[in-house]
């Protein structure tokens, strides 16, 4: 059921295996195929509060599989606008569709310039090869 390995070109990436889809002054965040594969089937999502703030490079929540816990590292700073309730109810959605239905939070950016510091798909794939 898990997705095929992929790293879409239209996304930005953080070295801790998180992605961001930037649209104007908002961004949707999630974890990459590599991250969900390393965790195994995800059984729990601990999201931030809507209205709370997240900071670049800091943890904003957790995902868990049976054998591991992973901090969700935010690629960008902002205010939480929406938490994906689908993932809260059915965490395995992240394994099935990490870049689509498996998105984790939507944030309003407080410092859009941070986007320039993120990796593009090519650079992220490069990082994975060096792992």
Partner 1 sequence: MKLIFERSQAGRRGSAIPNAGLPVPEVPEELRRRKPPRLPEVAEPEIVRHFTALADRTFGVDTGFYPLGSCTMKHNPRVNERVVSLPGFRDLHPLQEEEGAQGALELMWRLQEILAEVCGLDAVSLQPAAGSQGELTGLMLMRAYFADRGEADQRRTVITADTAHGTNPASVTMAGFNLQKVETDARGNLDLDDLRAKVGEETAGLMLTNPSTLGLFDEHIEEVAAIFHDAGALLYYDGANLNAVCGISRPGDMGFDIVHINLHKTFSQPHGGGGPGGGPIVVRDLLEPFLPVPAVVRKDDDFALDYDRPKSIGKVRGYTGPFGVFVRSYAFIRAYGPALRLMSEAAVLNANYMLARLRDAYELPFDRLCMHEFVLSARNLKREHGITALDVAKRLMDFGFHPPTIYFPLIVAEALMIEPTETEPKETLDAFCDAMLEIAREARDDASVLKEAPHSRPVRRLDEVKAAKRAIVRYRFGDHPDLAGEPSKGEAVEVQKGA
Partner 2 sequence: MSYLSLTDADREAMLETIGVASVDDLFRDIPAGVRFDRELDLEPALSEAELVEHLDELASKNVHTGQELSFLGAGIYDHYVPAIVDAILARGEFLTAYTPYQPEMSQGVLQAIFEYQTVICELTGMDVSNASGYDGTTVAADACYVAKHVTGRSKVVLCETVNPQVRQVVKTYAPGFGLEVVEVPHREGVTDAEELGRAAEGAACVLFQQPNFFGCLEPAPDLAAAANAAEALPVAHVDPMSLGLLEAPGNYGCAIAIGEGQGAGNYQSYGGPHYGFIASRSDYIRRMPGRIVGETTDTAGERGYVLTLQTREQHIRREKATSNITTNQTLLALAGLVTLSWLGPQGLREAGETCMALAEYAKERLGLPLLFPERTTFKEFAVRVGRPAQEVIRAARERGVHPGYALKRDYSEMEDAILVCVTERKRKPDIDRLSEVLAEVAG
49: contact with partner 1 by CB under 8 A: no
Q: How big is the site for partner 1, counted in residues (CB under 8 A)?
A: 10
Closest to partner 1 by CB, 75 vs 102, is 102
Binding mask 83-122 for partner 1 (x = CB under 8 A): -----xx-x-------------------------------
- Residues present in the chain in total: 131
Residue 17 φ/ψ region, left for φ over 0, alpha for ψ in the -120 to 50 degree band, beta for the rest: left
2 Cβ partners below 8 Å, 6+ apart? 36, 37, 41, 95, 96
Residue 91 binds which entry of partner 2, partner 1, none, with Cβ cut-offs from 5 to 8 Å by kind?
partner 1
- Kindly write down the DSSP assignment for every residue of 9-73, as one continuous string: TTSEEETTTEEEEEETTEEEEEE-HHHHHHH-SEEEEEPPPTT-EE-TTSEEEEEEESS-EEEEE
Count of positions on this chain that bind partner 2 (CB under 8 A): 7
Provide, rounded to whole angstroms, the least separation between the CB of residue 41 and partner 2.
13
* Subset of 1-60 contacting partner 2 (CB under 8 A): 44
Minimum separation from the CB atom of position 43 to partner 1 (A): 4
Give the residue with the Cβ less far from partner 2, 39 or 83.
Answer: 39
């Amino acid at each position: 059921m898990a997705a095929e390995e992929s790293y879409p070109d239209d996304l930005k990436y953080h070295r801790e295996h998180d992605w961001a889809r930037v649209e104007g002054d908002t961004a949707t965040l999630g974890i990459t195929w590599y991250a969900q594969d390393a965790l195994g089937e995800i059984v729990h999502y601990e999201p931030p509060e809507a209205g709370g703030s997240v900071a670049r490079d800091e943890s904003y929540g957790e995902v868990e599989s049976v054998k591991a816990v992973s901090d969700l590292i935010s690629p960008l700073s902002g205010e939480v606008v929406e938490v994906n309730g689908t993932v809260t109810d059915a965490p395995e959605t992240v394994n099935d569709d990490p870049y689509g239905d498996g998105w984790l939070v939507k944030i309003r950016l407080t410092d859009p310039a941070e986007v320039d510091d993120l990796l593009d798909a090519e650079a992220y794939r490069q990082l994975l090869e060096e792992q």
